Amino acid sequence: MNDLLTERLILHPLTIAEAERVAAGEAAPDDNWAADYPAEGERVGARMFVRGHAAVGGDTHPFGGYEIRRRSDGQAIGGIGFHGAPDADGSVSIGYGLAESARGQGYATEAVRGILAAAGGWGVTRLLGDTEHGNVPSQRVMLAAGMALTHEDAELKYYAATPA
């Protein structure tokens, strides 16, 4: 699968070997990682991707994990990925995270928009996301990316968007 490109980012589909390194937090000599990447959220996402790959016995892309890299220098600054394949109705959930050094620059919003733009071509009818009530930055990311708040419960706020 090819990289997805946005204005400033490369959304690179992780290979299993890359995901295993992210999960372990151990870069190979040729990995170009920000000093504070991967954070715990990216390690958890990479482990989910590796488990999902093993469960289906093969490549899960396009519904796998992606490393968020800056186009300007190729440096990995975060991750974004699907929590599995779409359900029977075409709905699928995503998660994302950035290294702290990359936050506040619009990269997460741009990555979500990039996934949203590609998802319609993959048969997705509804892209879903959620976040804790106190995670206001993530709420802003989803709203800025075109997702709408659909409901909330005691723990989470839920968002959805229809791919173009």
Distance CA 26, CA 42 (A): 12
**Amino acid 117: pLDDT:** 95
CB atoms < 10 A from the CB of 47, how many? 16
User: Which domains does the chain carry?
Assistant: 4-161 (3.40.630.30)
Q: Is the dihedral of CA 60, 63, 68, 69 positive or negative?
A: positive
**Amino acid 164: pLDDT:** 77
**Amino acid 27: pLDDT:** 96
Tokens of 164: 């173009």
Tokens of 103: 């936050």
Q: 3-state class of 127 per DSSP?
A: strand
pLDDT in tens, the chain (164 residues): 899 999 999 999 999 999 999 999 999 999 999 999 999 989 998 998 888 878 877 777 899 999 999 999 999 999 999 998 999 999 999 999 999 999 999 999 999 999 999 999 999 999 999 999 999 999 999 999 999 999 999 999 999 999 97
